[in-house]
Amino acid sequence: MKLKTILACLALNIILFIDSSLAQQQSNIASNPIIYADVPDMSMVRVGDVYYMSSTTMHMSPGVPIMKSKDLVNWKLVCYAYDTLANSNAMNLENGKNAYGNGSWASSLRYHNGIFYVSTFSATSGRTHVYTTRDIEKGNWKAVSFKPSLHDHSLFFDDDGRVYMIFGSGKIRLAELNSDVSGIKSGTKEQVLIENANEPSGNGGLPAEGSQLFKVKGKYYLFNITWPKGGMRTVVVHKADHLRGPYEGRIAFQDLGVAQGGLIDMSNGQYYAYLFRDFGAVGRVPYLVPVCWKDGWPILGDAGKILPLTGLPVSKGLIPGIVASDDFLRTKKEPALPLVWQWNHNPDNKLWSVTKRRGYLRLTTGRIDSNFLQAKNTLTQRTIGPVCVGGTMVDVSRMKDGDFAGLSLLQKNYGQIGVKVSGTTKSVVMVNAGKVHPIEIKGDLLQQDKIYFKIECEFENFKDTANFFYSLDGISWKSLGDSLKMTYTLPHFMGYRFGLFNYATKYTGGYADFDYFHINDKL
């Protein structure tokens, strides 16, 4: 290894160590997690001095969020790759079906010859989906899809103009695509690139997946995640001189379970690895790890261990770039819903409005539902850590017998606080689904049309608890029910989300008007 390479890695570690030791004395340095919210399966590109990132939101609609940053730390939602992945019973929450934990999974974001490409795959549709645009911030994506659904793939354009997908689990494969990325190239066959990508970290446990392929100075670098039995989530990197191999693999990072992602370079030549960590009920949160190079291999962090600080600019917070308050006031030129909002599954667009009553979101019931998780038109946005509060005011005057409307935390083990109508009686109700069966706790009978709700969430040190409150005047608050113990469950595979909901259990046509949704990062 050249002396200057050794000195460069040494200098980087010294700088980052100094940064870490001064972290308590100054507040102008970024820290991990870079985004304290559910932004998993990231894929990044740099175009000039601007970074773009895609992520996974699975059963949410619209899907595949695209974020923008100028510094790798402060991110803002700019668009989604699609409005609707597929029209099916599962994606529409119809006939008892749902797509929780499914929908679309890990995407691959690439920029080639002036075109942005986002590809993803879906067990729900059984297809690989590709979206393209020349203006990633305005969207206008063109969509194609093809069979089969290529698991955890990485879209890759080689220097000769040929395009591929690298995909698989354990056994990593290569398929060449048509030049327009519309499908697998006719007459070609899949090739096994790596017979057992788990091998560097040991066999057993989670098969290697989450492939992301990069080319740096003529060499090919394939990033995968493994999870050895009895161990932790691990980054494994394979290197080759040629796309088709042979590949040599090494453990590249193994600390705190931070894994799955790839490489991003800055305009000054510095590299970072973007990865994520399972962080309890708030979800899977992004980390950045500095990278230096040794003997042609990327060295992540401090010899494969987390460095507390990245040396990048301080975060300005996730509000309003990732989550935001909304008073539901719209000008004619504004979209009906800001990008921070996503529907739980595909919505019925006839049953919601921000124009029928100025300054309110109206949710109207259109069918009978037996439970919250199968109800249509729950409007959601992320919770954020380490703490956050979401609140709303609801006009319940036009709800019907059997309706239930209010504020929720969405996951398999959900929580709700709202108003239930029984005959002509309206009651404040909290539902705690943190255990085997949902428990309903009744509060006051409601003698007025408007009521305020808020939910406080605490994620710090994996506390993962939420408390529910209501108020008749927006000033004096009452707690209701026990704390919800929030749990990240695999059936939903997503961090908790605030949700505004209204559904019917007896009659359709009732509606609830939500005056606002406010979120802040202090209790």
Q: What is the C-alpha separation between 508 and 400, in angstroms, rounded?
A: 8
Per-residue pLDDT tens, the chain, 523 aa: give them.
344 434 444 444 444 443 443 333 345 789 999 999 999 999 999 999 999 999 999 999 999 999 999 999 999 999 999 999 999 999 999 999 999 999 999 999 999 999 999 999 999 999 999 999 999 999 899 999 999 999 999 999 999 999 999 999 999 999 999 999 999 999 999 999 999 999 999 988 999 999 999 999 999 999 999 999 999 999 999 999 999 999 999 999 999 999 999 999 999 999 999 999 999 999 999 999 999 999 999 999 998 888 866 678 999 999 999 999 999 999 989 999 999 999 999 999 999 999 999 999 999 999 999 999 999 999 999 999 999 999 999 999 999 999 999 999 999 999 999 999 999 999 999 999 998 899 999 999 999 999 999 999 999 999 999 999 999 999 999 999 999 999 999 999 999 999 999 999 999 999 999 999 999 999 9
Q: What is the C-alpha separation between 324 and 77, in angstroms, rounded?
A: 11
The CATH number given to 342-520 is 2.60.120.200
Q: Parallel, antiparallel, or unpaired for β 404-410 and 387-395?
A: unpaired
- Two domains, one topology: 3-300 and 342-520: no
Q: Which pTM value belongs to this model?
A: 0.93
Q: What is the C-alpha separation between 287 and 315, in angstroms, rounded?
A: 13
CA distance readout (Å), 317 to 215, 323, 464, 498: 33, 10, 20, 18
Tell the residue number behind the tokens 């939903």, with chain if given.
Answer: 492
Q: What is the C-alpha separation between 460 and 77, in angstroms, rounded?
A: 24
Domains of the chain, residue spans: 3-300, 342-520
What is the DSSP secondary-structure string of 234-296?
A: EEEEEEESSTT---EEEEEE-STT-EEEEEEE-TTS-EEEEEEEE-GGG-EEEEEEEEEEETT
CA 352, 355, 356, 358: dihedral to nearest 10 degrees? Answer: 120
CATH class of the domain whose range is 3-300? mainly beta
Phi, psi of 79 (to 5 degrees): -175, 180
Of 420, 201, 443, 454, which is closest to residue 325 (Cα–Cα)? 454
**β-pair partners for 393:** 452, 516
Q: At 91, which helix (H) or strand (E)?
A: helix 89-92
What are the tokens at 142? Answer: 């063109």
- R_g of the chain, CA atoms, integer Å: 24
**β-pair partners for 299:** 292
Of 217, 112, 193, which is closest to residue 157 (Cα–Cα)? 112
Q: What is the C-alpha separation between 470 and 406, in angstroms, rounded?
A: 10
CA angle 430, 513, 404 (to 5 degrees): 30
Q: Name the strands in the sheet holding 415-422, side by side, starting at the edge strand that comes first in the sequence.
A: 60-61, 342-344, 379-382, 497-503, 404-410, 415-422, 425-432, 439-445
